[in-house]
Amino acid sequence: KGDSGLSEINLMKNKVSALEGQLRALQASFTKYQKVATFPGGRIVGNKVFVTSGYEGNFDDLKQRCLQAGGQLASPRNAAENAAVQQIAVLYKKSVFLGITDIQTEGRFKYQNGEAIVYSNWAPGEPNNDKGSENCVEVYTNGKWNDKSCGEKRLIVCEF
Ligand code: GMH
Ligand code: CA
């Protein structure tokens, strides 16, 4: 079946080049929407997107809002991710609550999935559990971390 085999190959070649065109269009569209999604309060680090809505609230409020949106509170796992959260704090001139607490066991900071933190950037003297009531973590505009009462209001940053 030499002849029908060749025409099948040509049909396949046409399908591949059509798909190549569609992929290029999709890539261009994706790049455009990445710009939309990160203007002005968003940052992309690898596969993670950090974004704020500008909302300020207590820890439980912010946590719920990130989950409702299909993400979670920002949980920087390295210096590059922390720098992205810091840049958003600087833009809004507000400290940010992270998705990290020591609510379960005092002094053992964990992500919301229960995993012990793999990265930290504590300010000098922190965490100090001031007045015995600081179980949440804020990021200052200088990028350093402070444990803080979860009832305080801070800027929301979610990660997706
Ligand atoms: C105390 C002092 C300060 C520190 C705050 C902060 C509160 O007031 O140790 O130097 O900045 O606590 O840790 O969260
Ligand atoms: Ca503190």
DSSP for 48-67, please give it: EEEE--S-EE-HHHHHHHHH
ipTM of model: 0.96
Residue range 9-24: mean pLDDT, rounded: 98
CA of 78 to the centre of ligand 2 (A): 21
Window from 3-7, 115-119, 130-134, 155-159 with minimum mean pLDDT: 3-7
Residues 6+ apart with CB under 8 A from 52: 41, 42, 88, 92, 96, 155, 156, 157, 158
pLDDT band of 4, cuts 50, 70, 90: confident
CA of 128 to the centre of ligand 1 (A): 7
Q: Residue 2 has what pLDDT?
A: 58
Cβ atoms of 85 and 76 within 8 Å: the answer is yes
Distances (CA, A) of 2 to 5, 7, 9, 40, 159: 5, 9, 11, 59, 55
Measured by CA distance, the residue closest to atom 1 of ligand 1 is 130
Ligand 1 lining (C-beta closer than 6 Å): 125-126, 128, 130, 134, 146, 148
Ligand 1 atom with least separation from CA of 125? 9
CA of 139 to the centre of ligand 1 (A): 14
pLDDT band of 5, cuts 50, 70, 90: confident
Cβ atoms of 60 and 68 within 8 Å: the answer is no
Measured by CA distance, the residue closest to atom 10 of ligand 1 is 125
Task: Give the residue, out of 97, 98, 122, 130, with the most ligand 1 atoms within 8 A of its beta carbon, to mutate for a pocket test.
Answer: 130
CB under 5 Å of ion ligand 2: residues: 128, 130, 134, 146-147
Q: Residue 28 has what pLDDT?
A: 98
Residues 6+ apart with CB under 8 A from 63: 72, 73, 99, 112
Question: What percent of the chain clears pLDDT 90, i.e. is strictly above it?
Answer: 96
In whole angstroms, what is the distance from residue 140 CA to residue 124 CA? 13
In whole angstroms, what is the distance from residue 70 CA to residue 105 CA? 27
Residue 132 has pLDDT above 70, yes or no: yes
Question: What percent of the chain clears pLDDT 70, i.e. is strictly above it?
Answer: 98
**pLDDT tens digits, 40-91:** 999 999 999 999 999 999 999 999 999 999 999 999 999 999 999 999 999 9
